[in-house]
Amino acid sequence: MNIRKSFSRIVLRYNTIKAHPLTKDASLKGLYRYLIFNLSQAIKKRPQVYDWINGLQFYAEKGDAGIVGNIYYKLMDYEDSMFLLDHLKKEDLFVDIGANLGHYTLLASGVCQSKTVAIEPIVSTLIKLKNNIVLNNLEEKVSVLAMGVGDAKETLNFTTNNTVMNTVSLTENSNTVKIEVDTLDFILESQHPSFIKIDVEGYEYKVLKGATHVLQQPQLKFLLVEFNNSGAKFNLKDEDVFELITQNGFKPIRYNPISKEIRTIKSYNRDKFNTLFIR
């Protein structure tokens, strides 16, 4: 049974590699990188350094869902990542809310050379994020904040048992930890971001509600927000998040990294988790 499940996972991964724009013409090489990664992790079971684009590197181990895809896809979240690379400038400020292991932070400060405010509340994930920042000598460009973001200054429970996918918890138990949370308006104060990414496992609406001033700043041109219905546990709907964003003067788009075409769409993406917005 385990062999059958493993084979099914490999087939599923191979199909996604074949569909990815950067690996569709070299899918067997992508599959090889996937298999080698999993084999090496089965043997060593510790973080290893992997080379990435533009001389960047990152640590990754089994379970690091926020970054391991770069090993076999070359560039995860291809459309969104390329939009950031093509539109974020050196003089811009990028804010990475739910920075995870630093995929977007590394691209912003390591490739685009912009300043980044990376916000990550979970200590275990924060340690990995900082290791990736140090590995790439980006300490002077990236400010790391160990806290949560919401619609009020308060203390909330966060899960600790979901590897790098932890989130706000409605209950307190042995798998939660109390973390200080504040609004984006307070955190940024006099700072003026050009691009904000929000991936907080269903708490996006609360983050946006606490960013009334920031969202109205003309310097803020782009948003990248996750929509995956995970806000349901907080009685929040993706439609509410979308309405709040569009009410602040942003419209959803799709980006073609080859032609560089920006196309306006009617709603948030249903075929993938992230949606790009432009003012």
What ranges do the domains of the chain cover? Answer: 77-278
Q: What is the pLDDT of residue 162?
A: 84
Q: What are the φ and ψ backbone dihedral angles of 127, each rounded to 5 degrees? A: -60, -45
Task: Tell me how many degrees the CA angle 197-272-225 measures, rounded to the nearest 5.
Answer: 20
Q: Judge whether residue 225 has pLDDT over 60.
A: yes
- The predicted pLDDT at position 2 comes to 78
Q: With a cut of 60, say whether residue 85 has pLDDT above it.
A: yes
Residue 276 and residue 266: Cα distance in Å, rounded? 12
Strand partners, 80: none
- What pLDDT shows up at residue 166? 85
Contacts of 113 (CB under 8 A, 6+ apart): 90, 141
Hunting for tokens 């964003």 — which residue is that? 245
**Comparing C-alpha atoms, which of 172, 237, 177, 180 is closest to residue 204?**
237
Model pTM score:
0.95
Superfamily per CATH, domain 77-278:
Vaccinia Virus protein VP39 (3.40.50.150)
What is the token pair recorded at 258? Answer: 């080859």
